[in-house]
Every structure is written in C-alpha cells, then in structure tokens.
Chain A
Amino acid sequence: MGTLHTLTLAQTLHKLAEKEITLADLYRDIDTQVDVFNTKLNVYLTRNEQALSQAQERACLPLCGIPLAIKDNFLTKGIRTTASSKVLDTFIPPYESTVTSRLQQAGAVIYGKTNMDAWAHGSSTETSDYGPTKNPRNPEYLPGGSSGGSAAALAENMCIAAMGSETAGSIRQPSAWCGTVGLKPTYGRVSRAGVVAMGSSLDSPGPMGKTVEDTTILFDAIAGHDKYDGTTSTQHPPKLYNALKKGVRGMRIGIAYIDHADIKGTPAAHSIEQAAKVFESLGARVEHVPLSSTLKNNTMLTPDYAIGVYTVVQRGEVSSNLGRYDGIRYGNPRSCFGDEAKRRIMLGTFTLSKGYADKYYIKAQQVRNLYFKNYAQLFSSYDILISPTSPGFALKLGATKDNPMFGELEDMLVEPSSLSGLPGISVPCGHDSKTNLYLGLNIISSHWNEEKVTRAAYAFEQHTSWNSWIGDHT
C-alpha cells in the first residue's frame, strides 16, 4: 500500500509541484485508507464522487487539487450537508459557503464531509445523529468535538488537511484529543457565510491540519473580509505562512489556569509547565499569571463564570438560529431534532424569555464583558497566553451520556477567550504511551494576532517531538 496519505499538506504541495507524485496516486492512497477505516471510525458522512476529476482540473492552481476533509456544517453546493442532524438528512445545498468556495478557487477539493456533534452542540462528537466518531489514536475513546470528524480524519490520514469551526473549543479540543493541530482565528477573521450557524457572536470557521504550517497555508487561502458576512473585518489578514519562522525571542508569555483547582497537579498542568520551559529556552520571557475570582489587573479572571456565560449566550443564539428549521422550505420537521439539540433550544428559549432575559441573558453578556476587559488588560503585558486546551486526555466512548452540561464544562478553559473573540491554536504537547492519547497546548493572543499564535506554535512544534508527522515517527 502507498503512503501518500501520510503526507502533510506542505509536503504534498511540494511533491505535486515537483511532479514527484501524481494526484491519481495521492487520491488512490487516500481512498484506500478511507475504505479501510471509515466504517470503523465513522469519520466521513458523505464522500464527493467527483473528487479526483475535480482535483485534476485544479492541478495548476496554488492548492494543486489537494483533498480536504470538510466539517459537515459548511454548505457545499450539490453535496449533501447535514450538520450531523437527521433534520438535514437529505439536504442538498443550492449554494456554497464562502470558505469552501475560496478553498476550491485556490485549487483544493472537498474530499468528503466529516461527522460532528449535531449542530456543533458538544465536545465529543457523541451527539451526532449518525453515531460518534472514534478517536483513531485509540478507538475506545472519543475524538472530542464538535469538529471530531475532521480531527479524526487528520489523525488517521484520511485527508491531507481539514476544516472545522469553533464556538468555544470545537476546533482546538478535538485537535488536542486527536494529537493534531487546530487554529481558531479571531472572530470576524473568516467568513461565516454558508456555515450552519450555532452561536452567531462566537462561531469561527478555522483550519485543522497535521502541522502548524499546514493550518497557516489554509488560513491564508480563506481569511479576510466577505461582503456576505457583515461581521468580518475589512482589515487585511496577515500572511501566516510567511511569518512562521519568526520565532519567540523576546515574546512575553503568560501561563494561565494551571493553578485552577481542577487542573493543578494534573498531567495537563505538567505538560504546560514543560512547554513553558521550552519557550524560555527559545528566548521568550515566561511567567505565571495568577487566578482571581474578581477582575483585577495582571490576573486571570477565573474561568468558572465563563461556563455560565457561555451556556446562556450560546444556547440563546442557538435557540434563535435553529428557528428556521421548520421542515417547510427544506429539511425534516422539528421532531427530528436529537435530544441535545432540543435541550439547547429550550434552555436558550428559556433564558431569553419574558421575565428571565434580564436576569440571565443580559447578565451573561455583562459578565462576558468582564472577560473581554480582562484580556484587554492582560494583552498589554503579554504577547500570548498558554494553557491546557482541555483539562485532560480524551474520555472513553459513552462518557457524555446523561450529562447535560458535558460540552460546556469540558471547554471551560477556552470559553473565556472564545467569548472575547480571541484567536487561539492547539498543538500536541503530551502523550500517554499506554493509551496512545494526547494532550494539547492552547496558545491565545489578542484580536487579530493570529501571527503571534502560529509563530509560537510553530517554534514549539519544531523544538519538541509531540507531533507525529514531524521528525522520526513510525
């Protein structure tokens, strides 16, 4: 069997350009891999029959026809899009999302649509109406979510690169659990037009890859203003790929959350302490940022409140955004919503309803502002902040059952920055050889500073051996 499916995006582009490999061979190896693993891991819900022929038409474009795994909440014209919900079981979009349109115009191909938590409601991919995806590193475990299918596709080399989306953790957490890389851009950096809306003030489509470099290549192809999304910035996005090697010398780095009661002394905390040492050795200035239960200069506001804020704001926006699914113009009736969707729609409706909106929704948006102000102050002293992406390793299949708050509790460490719209990346930073599971390092910065985030991630990745595609790995 060929091994072209194990190439990174950068390697594939190079080899195609140098004519060392052909698209036919590449797709053959990917197809074979998918045929072997898809049923077992439940990664792709839909595969594009025209993938190879489209690739060959796009061979001369910058992205050379490479196959991408696209999370199934991006509308792809003519290709079934379900958001992993039975409500959209047979939905064929009549239009294309801006992101997948830009990717294809740059020469990429939609290889298939990946499984996710239904409507992106979750951090495990277990709420999918089509069954959970399994973590390729250890199939008894969950891949994380909601972009679990895309992370798993990468981990098992069932694609060359992937797209996901994040509301709070949905790119970074499955990347952490699957030992891959996931970049959540600043909210407003990448267009949401044509992406099934979950939390409108939070949703950030973003690239997922085998390496940091790979995510920057995709970012450069998709970032920037879109006239069809009024919340995108008109600022010219940075060219991340070109800035990768700038390093971290002189960067001021803050360590966050490892003194939180639930994180202290855990393998996750330890992995961040180790990461801090790596950054120091590379010339950065690293210091610990203490937690505080109130808004105070040079401290991290405890993430505990962010859970409540995120729950109310996200579910409120979800209840509103899912109102359009009435089974009339498209899709199946509302009775086809899964339990998690029903829960979230109802909770959101409740906290927006008469008599409760001021107490819950407005209050949540005020507390949200506390986090926003906290970061504004902290980023005057720091370039980036690092923390664990997730409190721990991946959990076993079935762990989320009967837990109506699983997602929000799991994503506690990324909710504050997501609520503030900040950019962040997760890269592998720990590994348990017994379970073969990974830990993720979360790096965030202030608005529009994706460059600082990817530079630091790249430096870390290149100077450690956690990434299974870099250096000597079998």
Chain B
Amino acid sequence: MSTSSRTPIIGMEIHVELKTRSKMFCGCKNDPFHAPKPNIYTCPVCLGMPGGLPVANKKAVEWTITLGLALGCTIARLSKFDRKHYFYPDLSKGYQISQYDQPLCEHGVVHTEFGDIRIRRVHLEEDTGKLQHTTVDGKKVSLIDFNRCGVPLVEIVTEPDIHSSEQAKAYAKKIQQIVRTLDISDADMEKGSMRLEANISLADDPTVLPNYKVEAKNINSFRFLEQAIVFETERQTEILDDGNIPTQETRGWSETKHATIAQRTKEDAEDYRYFPDPDLPPLKFDDAYIELLRNNLPELPEALQARYESLGITSAFATLLSSPEYDSNIVDEALHLGKKNGVEANNIASVIINKKIDTSKTSAKEIVRITTEMYTKDIVDGTEIASAVHVVIQEQPKAVGDYKSGKQQVIGFLLGMVMKKIGKKIDTKIVQEMLMKVLQ
C-alpha cells in the first residue's frame, strides 16, 4: 500500500542546443536537423581526425553567459574547458570537451508558480554524433552520423528542489521560454534541440536527501516528463514500502510502454578522468564585459508579464502575450498607440491572442485598427451576458474543473467561449467579471 507522506526529490538536467551558425570548436555548419544527408558537416576537428584541434566559438560562450545572467547566476571570472573521457561510437575523439570544476555560470534561480528552483550550474560543452540502430546485410549495426558532433550544447543543472511533476513541467517550460526569448536556441524537443533528464528519488524527510537517485532519460516532451515522474514515484514507492532501496541506475522513458525501463548498468561507475583541455587556453572575463552582456539582455518573460499586468491586461493574457512567439516591440507599439487613441490594453491583448495575430507580419497600427473595429460596442443586456455565462459553464465542465483546481489561465478560454456565445462586441471586462463571479 503506498503512502503519500514521501516527498519527491527531483533535480533536472536540461541540455539546449545553441543555434550558432557554426559548431562549438570548429567552423562546420551547425544545422544537423535539416542536413539533407549524413556526414556532410564535418571536418578534421569534429570528426576526431588525427591532428584536429578545437578553437572555441565566441558566440556560444557569450550566449551561455547571457543565459546564466537570465537565470540569475553568478558568472565565473575565470573559466576553462575540460576533457571528459569515455568511449562510444558517436564520440569521435574518445572524449567530450565540456566543463568540470569552473563552469561559466553558477548559483542561479528560476521562479515557478510552485516554488523557486535553484540552478546549480550552467556550462558549455559539445554535442555528440547520432547513432541509428538498424540491420545491414543481415547484421545488426549502428549507423553513425557526425553532422551533430561538435554542436554547442548548454547544460543547465538544478539542485534537487523540484517536488512534483507539475513543478518539473513548469520549470522546463520556463527554461524553454527563456531560451527562446533570448533567441539562442529553438529549444524544440521533437528536433532534439532541447533534451530533458530528471533525477528522481523519494524522501521520508524532505530536508534529508535520500541515499539513492534514479536518472530518467529519453524524455522528449513535457507530457512525457510528467508521466515519467509519476511512474517513477509510484515504482519507487512500491520498492520503498517493501523496505528496499531502489537501485541507483539510469532508466529510459518508453513511450509505447508508458514506463521507465532500466538500461544496462555498467559494472564500473563512470571515471571520466577530467583534466583541463591543453588545446584550449583558459577564459577570463572582466566586470565590464559581463555588464555589457547584462545590459543587452532582452526583457525576460517574467518582467514582460509583470509590465503587461500593470497596464491592466489580465494575468491570463499577460502570460500568453509574454511568450517569445509575440514580438514584444510590436506589442508595445500597439499598446502605446492604443493608449493614445483610447483603446484598452486588455482588448488589444485579447485581439492579438484570440485572433492569432502574427506580430512578425502585422503592424501595430493594423492591430489597433482591428481592435477598434472589434470593440465598437453593442449594447448588451446584463441578463444576456449572465445566460451566456451559465450555458458555457454547463458546456465546458472540464475547463471549469481545471480553473477551479488552480489553472488560472483557463479563464481566457472560458471567456472566449462566452464572447462567442454572445456574438456581439462588448467590453470583455464586464463579461470576465460576471464569469468569475459565477465560478466562485
């Protein structure tokens, strides 16, 4: 019988592929996902040829520091690259160039609605090639493509501060949002430019770290992240209830089995034999440089959201509007223009979101024009609004349930349904007030 008194202790490692033009340590094209053929973006360095020597990509270093600043990290004044040794066919040099004891960024924090998560470190390394298992001439083989080998990879490691699958998802989404806002990566899990790993264990006493942890890998969506954590929590609970300790191991998430599956454990614990890479002179940064990068930070989602809310935009809309898919410059211009012409900020936000405006193709002027047209108000009776609200609440039990269980942003959806039902141009504020009153 499972007890629910144990606390999940979860730390996450997220890898993000930087979308620099060239690879981390060589001038090869960085575009593995769209490469038309295998092994066409390689050179002596990333292919691990004899005599190949790495030279670090300036932009990749800058972007990593920028990410660290966005995550509230302390930036190292002295840093370096280290060699991490292990053998695998997709690792062309027999070692990965990474960072060991002097990472570029440390000690940051990410805020989620479920609590803060401390960032232990953010470091820069290179990606490996890609292996594909298949059969050729009747023999089981692996096909190796080195187009991806050497692509710059940022690794973000948290402290084990995550305590639920929802929090993990919120954290991962936040990282994705920040990375996309900074425009340093597409952070697309399906294309592999963002990869999630979670270290999961259960503690009786949440202030005491358990003496084991299970690493869950091969998670390529937020949904799978939640499912993997839920599965692991249940699996580990059973083992602990039996009085045993779960094996410290790596488990891969299986989409088809809806479960984590143990991968073959190695007899020896990995001994990476880290030492500073002699081919790469060390890095040092002065305050002026760090401040320059800090000043060049774009407005991050959190700050943007707060600012939108201060203009009278609902938090639901503000959350959506602060995502990197909307050009904040256009949005700001539209809000500013709207204010001058007496058009409400929240209406503009509503139009952009509900009409799915593409801010890269639509001017601020156009947005304001559409909003003005939309909100030429019809006279609508209070009872008409109330009845529309009641009908929608009946028709959308799931959404109502979600809202009541704390998913604040669902209000936007419900509001939209009510507006549709009414079918007239009225002030959404009035409708929203009515809706929220009824939902209470």
Contact = CB atoms under 8 A, between A and B. Distances in A.
B273 A230 contact: no
Contacts of A322: 94
A227 B45 CA distance: 13
A357 B49 contact: no
A332 B89 CA distance: 14
A159 B47 CA distance: 34
B182 interface: no
B93 A323 contact: yes
B363 interface: no
A317 interface: yes
B50 interface: yes
Interface string A217-245: 00000000001111100000000000000
Interface of B: 43-44, 47-56, 83, 85, 87, 89, 92-95, 144, 271, 273-275, 277-281
Interface stretch (A12-20, A188-196, A267-275, A383-391): A188-196
A343 B360 CA distance: 62
Contacts of B92: 324, 329
A131 to B, nearest CB: 22
B70 to A, nearest CB: 28
Contacts of A317: 278
A56 interface: no
Contacts of A361: 275
A195 B271 contact: no
A323 B48 CA distance: 10
A94 B47 CA distance: 11
A320 B95 contact: yes
A228 B46 CA distance: 13
A367 to B, nearest CB: 16
A65 B152 CA distance: 43
B53 A193 contact: yes
The 3 closest A-B CB pairs, nearest first, are: A323-B94, A201-B278, A200-B278
A322 B53 CA distance: 14
Interface residues of A, number: 40
13 contacts: A75-B49, A91-B50, A193-B53, A200-B277, A200-B279, A230-B281, A231-B53, A316-B275, A322-B94, A323-B95, A324-B94, A329-B49, A352-B275
A406 interface: no
A195 B44 CA distance: 11
B273 A194 contact: no
Contact of A349 (B83, B273, B274, B281): B273
Given A323-B95, A324-B93, 16 more contacts: A88-B50, A192-B51, A200-B279, A229-B279, A230-B53, A230-B55, A230-B279, A230-B280, A320-B83, A320-B273, A323-B94, A324-B48, A329-B49, A330-B49, A353-B273, A357-B274
Interface of A: 75, 81, 83, 88, 91, 93-95, 97, 192-197, 200-201, 227-231, 316-317, 319-320, 322-326, 328-330, 349, 352-354, 357, 361
Nearest to B42: A329
A193 B54 CA distance: 9
Given A329-B48, A353-B273, A354-B271, A323 B87 contact: yes
A329 B91 CA distance: 11
Given A75-B50, A228-B53, A229-B53, A320 B275 contact: yes
B272 to A, nearest CB: 9
Contacts of A81: 50
B294 to A, nearest CB: 27
A317 B89 CA distance: 21
The B interface is mostly helix, strand or loop, or mixed, namely loop
Contacts of A227: 55
B275 A357 contact: yes
A56 B53 CA distance: 33
Contacts of A353: 271, 273
Contacts of A352: 85, 273, 275
Contacts of B51: 75, 97, 192-197
B279 A326 contact: no
A83 B50 CA distance: 10
Nearest to B39: A329
Identify the interface centre among B83, B93, B277, B279: most chain A CB within 10 Å of its CB. Answer: B279
A94 to B, nearest CB: 8
Contacts of A192: 51, 53
Identify the interface centre among B50, B52, B94: most chain A CB within 10 Å of its CB. Answer: B50
Contacts of A197: 50-51, 53
Nearest to B277: A200
A412 to B, nearest CB: 22
A437 to B, nearest CB: 34
A194 B43 CA distance: 12
Contacts of B52: 193
Nearest to A352: B273
B79 to A, nearest CB: 15
Contacts of B95: 320, 323
B439 to A, nearest CB: 59
B89 A326 contact: yes
Given A323-B85, A323-B87, A328 B275 contact: no
A192 B55 CA distance: 13
Contact of B50 (A196, A201, A231, A328): A196
Contacts of B144: 328
A196 B52 CA distance: 8
B85 A320 contact: yes
A201 B94 CA distance: 18
